[in-house]
């Protein structure tokens, strides 16, 4: 009799276990699944959308790092609610959305020995503090400085007022009287073969710097407009820079400035496909450079120093009063010969 009761008890336990396995998802779990799919799928697709939609898509792409953090926070809430499927979908969406945004990290393959330090900075309508900027140039040991949104007054303040005229005795042509348009390359080394870069409402200029050991490198100051309010102009300007890079034959090339673009934008990823970025020396995290002096902290990396024919050795950024951009300091080793490779 005891054996029969034991068998019945065992059969009932198996039935209960089987029944629990077949139990449908609770309404709460279903709600979480719907929420997670609605949030995670668009986030995962967003960095691959090469569309404008009146500028909304590029702006949303700029916010992807913030969005990914938001998805992870919601995933934690879902996990606390034991909505495991929803939490998993949210984490997957966060990962898939942020991977394209990460700074590409790879080893450049060339023999590189000639050092070059480039400081790139958006001076915000020439309103940046000239003393702080001059101090940063000296502290960084920059032998090439790229300034956008500058004017002759700020340039003269840096060179003459702050005593850097002997440190940076060479420069490209005079900039526009309109402080938001001006772009300039200042250099410790002689500049030649100056040329304009078309495609932007802002000035864009490049010149070849010849270093003491005879190594030549073309340095370009670029500044496409932002996608907000003028998405077509932004897209065309970034594409024009890409086309200019492909067309120029200089084996060593540094392209620096405020790109108003990050790796979350497909058009920028195409531009950088054959270039190294100095930021890869700081690892895969896209350290933000904008906006400063705002109620919210900087959340996107739109200021870049890119190169071919060079190996990135270091990257840093610094805050200068009067600008909403961080200055970027990039340390390179120029390839000794041939057309250098990207990272």
DSSP for 255-321? Answer: EEEE-S--TTSHHHHHHTTT-EEGGGGG-SS----B--SSSSPP-B--EEEEEESEEEEEEEEE--T
Reported CATH class of domain 112-335: alpha beta
Angle at CA of residue 199, ends 276 and 102, nearest 5°: 30
Angle at CA of residue 297, ends 292 and 303, nearest 5°: 50
Mean pLDDT by 10 residues, the chain (343 residues): 51 50 75 95 96 92 93 96 94 95 81 95 97 98 98 97 98 91 98 97 98 97 95 97 97 98 97 95 94 86 97 97 97 78 38
Angle at CA of residue 104, ends 102 and 105, nearest 5°: 120
Q: Where are the domains of the chain?
A: 2-101, 112-335
> At 310, phi and psi to the nearest 5?
-155, 155
Which residues does 28 contact at the CB level (< 8 Å), separation at least 6?
81, 83
Q: Report the sign of the C-alpha dihedral through residues 332, 333, 339, 343, in that order.
A: negative
- Residue tagged 């010969």 (tokens): 337
Tokens of 234: 């932004």
CB 33 within 8 A of CB 78: no
Residues in the chain: 343
pLDDT for res 343: 39
Q: CA 87, CA 99: separation in Å to the nearest integer?
A: 19
CA dist 22 → 16, 25, 85, 168, 272 (Å): 10, 9, 16, 75, 51
3-state secondary structure of 114: strand
pLDDT for res 105: 83
Q: CA 46, CA 180: separation in Å to the nearest integer?
A: 31
pLDDT for res 10: 53
If one counts every other C-beta atom within 10 angstroms of the C-beta of residue 77, the result is 14
pLDDT for res 338: 47
Overall pTM surpassing 0.85 (yes/no): yes
CB 126 within 8 A of CB 154: yes
Longest pairwise C-alpha distance within the chain: 106
Q: CA 296, CA 318: separation in Å to the nearest integer?
A: 17
Closest C-alpha among 237, 326, 199, 331 to residue 277: 331
- Residue tagged 């058009």 (tokens): 267
If one counts every other C-beta atom within 10 angstroms of the C-beta of residue 316, the result is 18
Q: CA 74, CA 94: separation in Å to the nearest integer?
A: 10
pLDDT for res 3: 55
- For the CA atoms of 61, 66, 71, 75, the dihedral, rounded to the nearest 10 degrees, stands at 160
Tokens of 4: 């029969």
């Amino acid at each position: 009799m005891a054996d029969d009761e034991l068998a019945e008890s065992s059969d009932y336990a198996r039935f209960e276990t089987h029944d629990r396995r077949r139990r449908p998802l609770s309404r709460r779990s279903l709600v979480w699944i719907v929420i997670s799919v609605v949030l995670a799928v668009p986030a995962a697709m967003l960095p691959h959308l090469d569309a404008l939609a009146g500028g909304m898509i590029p702006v949303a792409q700029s916010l992807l790092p913030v969005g990914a953090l938001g998805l992870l926070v919601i995933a934690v809430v879902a996990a606390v609610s034991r909505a495991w499927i929803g939490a998993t979908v949210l984490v997957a969406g966060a990962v898939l959305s942020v991977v394209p945004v990460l700074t590409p990290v790879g080893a450049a393959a060339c023999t590189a020995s000639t050092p070059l330090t480039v400081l790139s900075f958006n001076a915000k309508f020439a309103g940046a503090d000239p003393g702080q900027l001059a101090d940063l140039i000296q502290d960084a040991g920059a032998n090439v400085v790229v300034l956008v949104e500058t004017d002759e007054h700020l340039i003269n303040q840096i060179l003459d007022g702050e005593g850097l005229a002997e440190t940076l005795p060479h420069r490209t042509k005079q900039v526009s009287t309109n402080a938001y348009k001006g772009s300039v390359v200042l250099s410790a080394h002689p500049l030649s073969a100056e040329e304009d870069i078309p495609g932007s409402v802002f000035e864009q200029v490049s010149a070849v710097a010849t270093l003491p050991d005879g190594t030549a490198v073309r340095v370009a100051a670029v500044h496409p407009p932002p996608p907000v309010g003028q998405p077509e102009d932004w897209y065309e300007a970034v594409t024009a820079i890409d086309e200019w890079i492909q067309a120029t034959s200089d084996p060593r090339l540094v392209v620096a400035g405020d790109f108003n673009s990050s790796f979350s934008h497909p058009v920028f990823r195409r531009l950088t496909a054959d270039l190294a970025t100095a930021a890869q020396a700081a690892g895969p995290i896209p350290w933000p450079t904008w906006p400063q002096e705002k109620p919210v902290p900087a959340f996107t990396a739109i200021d870049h120093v890119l190169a071919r024919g060079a190996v990135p050795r270091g990257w840093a950024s610094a805050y200068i009063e009067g600008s909403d951009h961080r200055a970027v300091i990039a340390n390179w080793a120029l390839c000794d010969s041939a057309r250098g490779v990207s990272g």
